[in-house]
Amino acid sequence: MAAEATSWQKEQVSRAYVHVLATQGGYTICDWNVDKDGVDVTLRSHGLMVDIQLKCTQSPRIIRGGYSFDLDVETYDKLRNPERSAPGHLALLIVPPDIGRWVTHQPESIVLACHGYWASLQGRGKANGNVTTAVSLPEHQPLTVKAMGTMFDAARRLTNASGREVD
């Protein structure tokens, strides 16, 4: 029988996943211990910032072309706010149903058995629901180091659009 992970275990594996990618990409990462602005982690690179809300599930809702996650409207509104100085993103990490399969120890490596997807929420329209809103996370947007580079491209455009120059 599969062991059901608790919320904090899902949060911690999500943070570990993002830390590994950020480290590989050469980005610095800040963990927020209070989720006041709908942000769990902020990535930094050459003065640019990217905000990410992390979610994790053992039972993803599969839709045509990817996944869907019901995000609370309060967090959705914070991440889509056009006045943000850093673009807001949702990242969904999908882990196996059995927590015992999340990490595999091998003689020369540790393997995380999970995969993630992301969606930019910056500038999106109003939520469809009153309590939660479904956010689509396309399967062609896996959360990878390359994806983080794309997030920084959006941050650069946001910074340039507001009249600030960044090297």
The two beta strands, 48-57 and 41-45, are: antiparallel
Whether the predicted pLDDT of 162 surpasses 90 = no
Q: φ, ψ for residue 32 (rounded to 5)?
A: -95, 130
Write the pLDDT tens digit of every residue in 119-134. 999 989 999 999 999 9
Q: What is the pTM of this model?
A: 0.92
CA dihedral of 67, 73, 75, 79, whole degrees rounded to 10 = 80
Q: Is the pLDDT of residue 6 over 70?
A: yes
Residue 166 has pLDDT above 80, yes or no: no
pLDDT band at 113 (very low <50, low <70, confident <90, very high): very high
DSSP secondary structure letter of residue 4? P
pLDDT number for residue 5: 87
Task: Record the tokens describing residue 32, joined without a space.
Answer: 């927020």
Q: Cα separation of 98 and 138, whole Å?
A: 24
pLDDT of residue 54: 97
* pLDDT given at position 149: 97
Q: List, for residues 7-47, the tens digit of each pLDDT value.
A: 999 999 999 999 999 999 999 999 998 888 999 999 999 99
C-alpha span between 149 and 167 (Å, rounded): 15
